[in-house]
Amino acid sequence: MKHKTALLTLAAASVLCSFSGVGAKCMSWNGFAIAGMRSLIAAANAILLQFTAPVYSAVIGRFVLHERVTRRDVASIALMFAGLVLLLYDGLTSGRMLGNVLALLSGVCSGAVILRAMLLHLLGHRTKHPAMSG
């Protein structure tokens, strides 16, 4: 992909992500249902857990793509998981386990998307979408 095309694609993704709130407002769910989903986990915990995706892609990538993992990678991943245990400890005792599991699953799925993109790149596949071809 050319640099200019990559920048335009990134800008388009950012704009579309910004409009996700509009989509949430247009949903037919009532406010109580949305508030009930929000009560499953604190927003800060959900964001932190979802952004663990690169760690999951590194761990899974080691086994799927046979990527090299350095000692620094292992130490970073171990520290991240230790931090997760400290973060989730309160969630385990306060009955918010479902929200924590859903947020962790979101991070794992995001990591899988990263791996899928890496795998397609390694295999040389190109999409038919004009914005992604180069």
pTM to 2 decimal places: 0.63
Residues 48 and 91 in one domain: yes
Does a structural domain hold residue 53?
Answer: yes
The answer to whether the CB of 99 falls within 8 A of the CB of 90 is: no
Residues 60 and 93 in one domain: yes
Residues 59 and 20 in one domain: no
Does a structural domain hold residue 102?
Answer: yes
Residues 45 and 24 in one domain: no
The answer to whether the CB of 110 falls within 8 A of the CB of 60 is: no
The answer to whether the CB of 100 falls within 8 A of the CB of 41 is: yes
- Determine the structural domain holding residue 1 and report its residue range: 1-29
Contacts with 62 (C-beta within 8 Å, 6 or more apart), sequence order: 69
Whole-number Cα distances in Å, 90 to 33, 45, 80, 84, 106: 24, 11, 17, 11, 20
Residue-wise pLDDT for 52-104, tens only, equals: 888 888 888 888 888 888 899 899 989 988 888 887 776 555 667 788 888 88
What the block records as the tokens of 75 is 């130490």
% of the chain residues with pLDDT over 90: 4
Handedness of CA 20, 21, 27, 32 (dihedral sign): positive
Using alpha carbons, select from 67, 43, 49 the residue that is nearest to residue 115. 67
Does a structural domain hold residue 12?
Answer: yes
